[in-house]
Amino acid sequence: MRGEGGVSLFLKCISSGSKGNAYVLQGKDEILLLECGKPFIEVKKAIDWQILKIKGCLLTHGHLDHSKNTKDFLKAGIPVFTNEETKQTIGDIPGAQFYSVSEFKAVQIGGFKCIPFYVPHNGTPCYAWLIEHLEMGRLLFATDFEYIPYNFQKQQIQHFLIEANYQEQFIDKDIPNYEHKLLGHASFETCIGAIKANQSPNLRSVIMCHLGAGSSAGNYFINEMQKVTGRNINVDCAAPGLIVEVNKEPF
């Protein structure tokens, strides 16, 4: 908790990975949702039913583990923001607040300034989002990508919510079609490379997400990532129930 006059923002993970993706950025008076991959009821529980505080939801792409419940979110009156291709794939609902945002165009959602850009995802149009908030600083949310095509070192990013899908030694090669499942996804090495390329003195936290199903890699990932970031950076893996304070300043 923050001290006098300070306001805390929290990143909550409802679910991460191929079984469904849903995250919450929660401040005192406003909430930004990330992804529609879990039923809205689970979001409501995660935010303690403070539905009126929800300002909107960012959606990366149309794969069902991210977008399955989009129409239910829209029907609940939640504004959803994504790229045009994803909007068309899902289909609009009359009267719903379903918005396509142009690449690099900033959209203001409550106190959150959100800028999308495309990341390569094996041919599926997929947005990553740079999210800015007065108390949080900058958070880069990138999932389901082969690599990040831009460098953000100048932007001095405080927080990363970033895919670390697999690593060679943890791949279960008995799973049929396992090579296909890795296409378009960030390996742990790719994730490490992205953190190194974008590291700045402002870095506060690295939350790795979308870990491959059945992967026992979490602890290994955390230890190895911590070697890159140093010990005073908060490194974790997104799992249901994870709550991380994401503030601009360390204290």
Residues in contact with Zn ion by CB under 5 A are 63, 65, 144
Q: Closest separation between CB of residue 191 and Zn ion, Å?
A: 14
Largest CA distance in the chain: 55
By beta-carbon proximity to Zn ion, the closer residue of 80 and 203 is: 80
Nearer to Zn ion, 65 or 236 (CB): 65
Indicate the residue among 137 and 184 with the shorter CB distance to Zn ion. 184
Q: How far apart are CA 59 and CA 87, in angstroms?
A: 9
Q: Residue 30 or 65: which CB sits closer to Zn ion? A: 65
Q: How far is the CB of 128 from Zn ion (least distance, A)?
A: 12
Question: Residue 66 CB, nearest distance to Zn ion (Å)?
Answer: 6
Answer whether 134's CB lies under 8 Å from 114's CB.
no
Q: State how far the Cα of 251 lies from the Cα of 236, in Å rounded to an integer.
A: 19
Cβ within 8 Å of residue 65, ≥6 positions away: 17, 18, 19, 20, 21, 37
At its nearest, how many Å lie between Zn ion and the CB of residue 143?
Answer: 6
Q: In whole angstroms, what is the distance from residue 82 CA to residue 78 CA? A: 13
User: Smaller CB distance to Zn ion: residue 163 or 236?
Assistant: 163
DSSP H/E element including 142: strand 137-142
DSSP line for 153-207 = GGG---EEEEE--B-GGG--TTSTTHHHHHTT--BHHHHHHHHHHH--TT--EEE
Q: State in angstroms the smallest separation of the CB of 144 from Zn ion.
A: 4
Contact present, 175 and 18 (Cβ < 8 Å): no
Which CB sits closer to Zn ion, 26 or 143?
A: 143
State the minimum distance, in angstroms, from the CB of residue 65 to Zn ion: 4
Q: What angle do CA 42, 48, 52 make, to 5 degrees?
A: 95
